[in-house]
Structure 1
Amino acid sequence: MPTLKTKIKEYREKALIKQNELAELVGVRRETIVHLENGKYNPSLKLAMDIAKVFGTTVEELFEFED
């Protein structure tokens, strides 16, 4: 089964944004960002789009499925 890989941490660190700041920007708890970065949570399409918007990139750039 493919797993969802994310570049959220990479983008967040480049932008000097803390997990709690990103969480606030997209309307979720910090724990949600932690789980996303650790690959333990698959975001809704809306959340994925909101996060991509914060970083000025696409959902496809931030998330990818890996076999």
Structure 2
Amino acid sequence: MIYNRIKTLRTDRGLSRKALADAIGVNFQTIGYLERGDYNPSLELAFKLADYFDVTVETAFSRTPFQSLAEELRASRAAE
């Protein structure tokens, strides 16, 4: 399974699924499938999404579950 932050990235920018799909040239249902984890993106689509959001592929996709924002903040504070 490939985990992703597409929904977080999309909603953070106030985009609908359709607006994101139109911007990268896919069907809006593809975005929904990605966000739910029902579909793993092709390498080309993963790069398109990362480029669109101006993040690395590793920031948007992972083979392991992402930490929650609260966990990331705790880890960041502990490292200071």
Query: Which structure's relative contact order is higher, taking Cα pairs within 8 Å and 6+ residues apart?
Result: 1
* Alignment of 1:42 onto 2:40: yes
In 2, Cα distance between the equivalents of 1:35 and 1:58? 21
2:4 to 3, 6, 31: 6
**SS of residue matched to 2:63:** strand
Moved over 4 A (4+): none
Instruction: Using the aligned pairs only, state the percent identity.
Output: 38
Q: Deviations over 1:8-66 (max 9, x none)?
A: 00000111111000000111001000000000101111111111111110111000012
Which structure has the highest strand share of the two?
1
Ranges in structure 1 where 5+ consecutive residues have no aligned partner: none
In 1, Cα distance between the equivalents of 2:56 and 2:18? 21
Ranges in structure 2 where 5+ consecutive residues have no aligned partner: 66-80
Residue identity matched to 2:4: T
Greater CA radius of gyration, 1 or 2?
A: 2
TM-score by length of 1: 0.91
How many residue pairs align between the two structures?
65
